[in-house]
Amino acid sequence: MLITALQFNHIKRNVQQKITGVAVGVIGGYHGANLGDMALGESVTTALKERNIKTGLQTIYNLSKWPAAPYAIVGGGAVGYEESLLKVAQRYKGKFERVALLGVDYNEKTYSGEGLELLKGAAFLSCRSKAQADKIAGLTGRKDIIHHPDIAFSLHREYCAAIRRSAQHHQKKKLLVNVLPLYGELENAVMVPMKQYEAERPELYANFQQMQTAYKNYIRGIVSNAIAEGYEVETIPFTPQDGVYGEFILAGLAVKHNSYNADPLQMIKLMATAGRVLSTRYHTTIFAIKLGIPIYPIAYAVKNELLLQDLGIAREAFLSTVDLANGREDLLPPVTADEKEVTAFEAKSKAAVDASIDALHIN
């Protein structure tokens, strides 16, 4: 059976670690099929390599197949489900002081057993929102939990700062568009809801078709206006599914569709060529903000809403999926984040990554 390039790279990474060994396994959703996840992992491995610490990305979903490193950093993102944490807890049982949980979202209502013991005993524990930090503090009784911006803000800071401070985006007549199949999947050219989200986002599940229609109308409206104003338009998929959905939702419009690439730096460099970005995914929004590009943000998840508002962008300045589910599709002007706020976010993010490494006291 043939394997894809993503699968090949995944296997290659595993084999290399088994041959050379690693001191710190950076654990997360690093299967290669989500660029945002790869950015999270690279944020941590970059900081470790700066200290000459041998490291490698390991995938939390099949952790038992990866070599056991002496130390581990669970490197950010929405991987804080009990089943995933249990895999880490079982590997490092009796050695939780060798584990750091960095910028993770915890989406279960409660935790128990070895997963809860890991949360209580980890050398370092941080979240990417105050609400998350308060929740886990209440569940564990810990007083040392911190919160900070997403760790992807720490990635390629010098390059991004140079781009955003150049203020040349207004001269660039290119719109980059990131879209995703909102809480559903394409089946025979029809969007159908994914059952797993019925309990998580019931308000969206109930109005699924209205949300899809409003989303499509909004995206096509922004793109059509940009084309009329002389902009080149390209899609920027952050997953392979984004690419398929981009071709579906923008069919018939003069749009170039880029292929999925799992390298965060290559995406950042591509985005640096844009004058505007329409962003749906969380990390598309982060990359555009880091580059200082005016954005049309669509807050598909609560984390997107919190990010934008934490950066001082007014709630009425962007659409959420709840807005779309309510039939709202009026076109809004692009927004930008204050440069000083972005710089502060980058610094706080990098400080959190460094603190997680320091907490492990690596020999």
For residues 74 and 159, what is the distance between their CA atoms, to the nearest angstrom? 26
For residues 304 and 68, what is the distance between their CA atoms, to the nearest angstrom? 34
For range 156-160, the mean pLDDT: 97
Does 105 score more than 60 pLDDT? yes
For residues 334 and 311, what is the distance between their CA atoms, to the nearest angstrom? 15
Q: What is the pLDDT of residues 260-278, one digit of tens each?
A: 999 999 999 999 999 999 9
Task: Dihedral sign for Cα 33, 39, 44, 47, please.
Answer: positive
**DSSP single-letter state for residue 335:** B
Question: CA dist 265 to 42, 44, 262, 286, 360, Å?
Answer: 10, 14, 9, 13, 28
For range 198-208, the mean pLDDT: 92
Instruction: Name the average pLDDT for the chain.
Output: 95
pLDDT given for residue 2 in this prediction: 52
For residues 85 and 107, what is the distance between their CA atoms, to the nearest angstrom? 12
Sheet strand arrangement including 276-279: 256-257, 232-235, 174-177, 276-279, 295-299, 319-320
Does 1 score more than 50 pLDDT? no
Distance of CA 145 to the CA centre of its chain: 21
Q: What are the tokens at 189? A: 């050219």
Does 139 score more than 70 pLDDT? yes
pLDDT given for residue 319 in this prediction: 98
Rounded to the nearest 5°, which phi and psi values hold at 154? -80, -10
* HEC sequence for 245-312: HHHHHCCCCCCEECCCCCCHHHHHHHHCCCCEEEECCHHHHHHHHHHCCCEEEEECCHHHHHHHHHCC
For range 282-300, the mean pLDDT: 97
pLDDT given for residue 3 in this prediction: 63
pLDDT given for residue 171 in this prediction: 81
Does 4 score more than 90 pLDDT? no
329 DSSP β-pair partners: none
For range 280-285, the mean pLDDT: 98
176 DSSP β-pair partners: 234, 277
Q: What is the pLDDT of residues 47-74, one digit of tens each?
A: 999 999 999 999 999 999 999 999 999 9
Q: Catalogue all structural domains in the chain, each as residue range(s) with its CATH number.
A: 5-147 (3.40.50), 157-344 (3.40.50)
Greater model confidence, 355 or 197: 355
For range 32-50, the mean pLDDT: 97
The SS3 assignment for 81 reads coil
